[in-house]
A and B are shown apart, each in its own frame.
Chain A
Amino acid sequence: MDEADVLPLSALQHFLYCPRQCALIHIEGVWTENRFTAEGRVLHNRVDSGCSGKRGDTVEDRSVPVRSNELGLYGVADVLEMKAGPEGKRIPYPVEYKRGSPKIEDWDRAQLCAQAMCLEEMLSLEIPEGAIFYGKPRRREKVVFDNDLRDLVKVKCLEMRSMVKSGLTPPAQYGKKCKNCSLTGQCMPTATRKGKVEPYILKGLED
């Protein structure tokens, strides 16, 4: 894969949340912070500043760079717990930190699964599960990397890649999630409907 086509893991999560948001960030180079993104940044700074160490049987490493040539993704795993496995081998157990609360949708789980798939490719082993730590309930939620989740990651990676390659930002689909999106000001989901401008100009030209 061409190095320029390798996308950050976060792009996949943006793409799952809203393809247009992903395009605004990764095609158009737009970024605006709001309360949610700022809180996420602060949370991650805290995770990143923590140092690696050992806890019981588990060796913990933080801010671990990962990459997959097959998926064309790169990124950083927040926390990797290396748990004791059979035959003295250690199995990585990725943990991702999220502000907010668990979501019904697959965004966060798919991002974590993609991380695990990167690690599998790098280490030539299988990673059966990981966890997401949510800031709101301050609790971990276990994520099993089953075939459905893996297929979702593969399909979405392909879709995302062809969108980014085309350079075309898909039209806005106005909905509930637009309210929490930090990019609404750039996206203007209600204004970018076709066929509205000419009547607007004609009306403006009246007395």
Chain B
Amino acid sequence: MKKLLNTLYVTSQGSYLSKDGECIVVRFESGEKKRFPVHILDGVVCFGNVLCSPFLLGHCADRGLSVSFLTERGRYLAAVHGPQSGNILLRREQYRKADDLQASAMIARSIIAGKVTNSRTVLKRCIRDYPDRIDQDRVKAAVSILDGCAHRLRSNVTLDEARGLEGLAANTYFGVFDQLILRKDESFFFNGRVRRPPLDNVNCLLSFVYTLLTHDIRSALEASGLDPQAGFLHRDRSGRPGLALDMMEEFRSFMADRLVLSLINRGEVVEKGFMVKESGAVFMNDETRKTVLSAWQKRKSTEVIHPFIKERIPLGLAFHVQAKLMNRYLRGELDGYPPFFWK
């Protein structure tokens, strides 16, 4: 199995990355230097004004590391990859399946099955762990709607039905998401998902963690030779990583949302870690961003037993395993795409 390597996140503004032998050297404006051997890394993510030497970019491309550039606030700008890798036969099969609405519906059904059950597990855990601190009736009602979605998914569905169930599941889950915020503090509340720009602290955190999740899933798909743009549930739209968004549906609730919830509930993020612009748009400051990044890395190193391949893996590798399973399904070696069920 592939090793779970680290991602180097560079958030210090004005830093410069260069290559020295097998190492990445980061020079900070203060003059301080840090070195990271390339072989322990599987990617570099640069936030804002971070420069990279062309030789470092070439070296990373050669070693299969992608270097992504995001704005200081985490909006994706560009990435540098090595030569197109993998297998044209696989990619063609992916396009064929994406063109075939019935095949797409089958894959979409698997993915939504993952999303529905994983969201349900998040809610059920909350009922189990904090029965006195939440409005149990509301959360239980949401669980039973998700049960209904799960029941519908026991038989085949069309692509439109799958999409309908996805919407219902998302609305139901986000409808009670505020209940999962246990810290009753005026600065952390959830009134529904707001993006571009986020208008409250919780949405600001969610958007940022979703960006990290997209980056990681996209890399995993590319590493296994798939085209991250050609999705099954998310249909083609120029510039949108459809397949990465598809696969994210399985992971959002327990990888991203629960991370945000625990940062809030444990008081690891605080009100003064966020800034509000005149328009009402909310941004996090450097310190909060660092807190989220290190929590994300820690979350990825948590070990689980993969429910389908039955191997103990760090959660961060689950993206790679799912990409491989998708690969194997498209190549005709599995009779379906087995989603990641989080237990």
Chain A residues engaging chain B, CB cutoff 8 angstroms: 27-30, 32, 167, 169, 171, 184-186, 188, 190-192, 194-198, 200-202, 204-207
B308 contacts A by Cβ under 8 Å? yes
* A196 neighbours in B (Cβ, 8 Å): 334-335, 338
Chain A residues whose CB sits within 8 angstroms of the CB of B161 once the complex forms: none
Flag if B335 contacts A194 (CB, 8 Å). yes
What is the chain B residue whose CB lies nearest that of A194? B335
Given contact pairs A186-B324, A190-B309, A205 touches B153 in the complex (Cβ within 8 A): yes
- Within 8 Å by CB of B336, from A192, A198, A207, lies A198
Q: Judging by beta carbons under 8 Å apart, are B113 and A205 in contact?
A: yes
A200 B333 Cβ-Cβ under 8 A: no
Contacts of B333 in A (CB 8 A): 169, 171, 192, 194
Q: Give min CB distance, A175 to chain B, whole Å.
A: 17
In the complex the two chains form, what is the Cα distance from A27 to B86 in whole Å?
Answer: 9
CB closest residue in chain A, given B317: A185
Inter-chain contacts of B324 with A (CB < 8 A): 185-186, 188
Given contacts A29-B225, A192-B334, A205-B150, 12 further A-B contacts (CB under 8 A): A27-B89, A28-B90, A28-B225, A169-B331, A184-B1, A188-B325, A190-B309, A191-B308, A197-B337, A200-B338, A202-B154, A206-B150
Which of B1, B147, B329, B337 sits near A207, CB closer than 8 Å? B147
Residue of B nearest to A201 (CB): B113
For A190, A191, A196, A200, the residue with the greatest tally of chain B CB atoms inside 10 Å of its CB is A191
Q: Is the Cβ of B309 less than 8 Å from the Cβ of A197?
A: no
Question: B2 at the A/B interface (Cβ < 8 Å)?
Answer: yes
With A201-B113, A205-B154 as known contacts, state yes or no: A192 contacts B90, CB within 8 Å.
no
Shortest beta-carbon distance, A22 to chain B, in Å? 14
Q: Is the CB of A197 within 8 A of B225?
A: no
Q: Is the Cβ of A188 less than 8 Å from the Cβ of B225?
A: no
Contacting A at CB under 8 A, from B38-74, are none
A202 neighbours in B (Cβ, 8 Å): 154
- Cβ-defined contact, B334 with A194, below 8 A: yes
Contacts of B87 in A (CB 8 A): 27-30
B28 beta carbon closer than 8 Å to chain A? no
Residues of A within 8 A of B339 (CB): 201, 204
Is B117 an interface position by the 8 A CB rule? yes
Question: Could you say which residues of chain B place their CB within 8 Å of the CB of A169?
Answer: 331, 333
The answer for the CA separation of A188 and B1 in the assembled complex, in Å, is 9
Query: 7 pairs across A/B with beta carbons < 8 Å?
Result: A28-B89, A32-B2, A185-B324, A194-B334, A197-B334, A200-B308, A204-B114
CB-defined contacts of A198 to chain B, threshold 8 Å: 335-336
B334 touches A204 (CB 8 A): no
**Which residue of the partner chain, among A29, A185, A204, A206, contacts B307 with CB atoms under 8 Å?**
A204
In whole angstroms, how far apart are the Cα atoms of A18 and B333 in the complex? 17
Nearest CB of chain A from residue B260's CB, rounded to whole Å: 24
Do residues A204 and B328 form an inter-chain contact, with CB atoms below 8 A?
no
Q: Taking the nearest CB of chain B, how far is it from the CB of A58, in angstroms? A: 39
Asked whether any CB of chain A lies closer than 8 Å to the CB of B85, the reply is yes
- A185 B2 Cβ-Cβ under 8 A: yes
Contact with A along B309-343 (1 / 0, CB 8 A): 11000000000000011001101011111110100
Identity of the chain A residue whose Cβ is nearest the Cβ of B124 in the assembled complex? A207
Give the nearest-CB partner of B116 in chain A.
A205
List, in ascending order, chain A residues with CB within 8 A of B229's CB: none
Interchain CA distance A169-B224 in the complex, whole Å? 15
Q: How far is the CB of B257 from chain A (nearest CB, A)?
A: 19
**Does B110 interact with chain A (Cβ within 8 Å)?**
yes
Contact A188 B309 (CB under 8 A): yes
9 A-B pairs with the lowest CB-CB distances in the bound complex, closest first: A197-B336, A185-B1, A204-B341, A192-B333, A191-B309, A205-B150, A28-B87, A29-B87, A197-B338
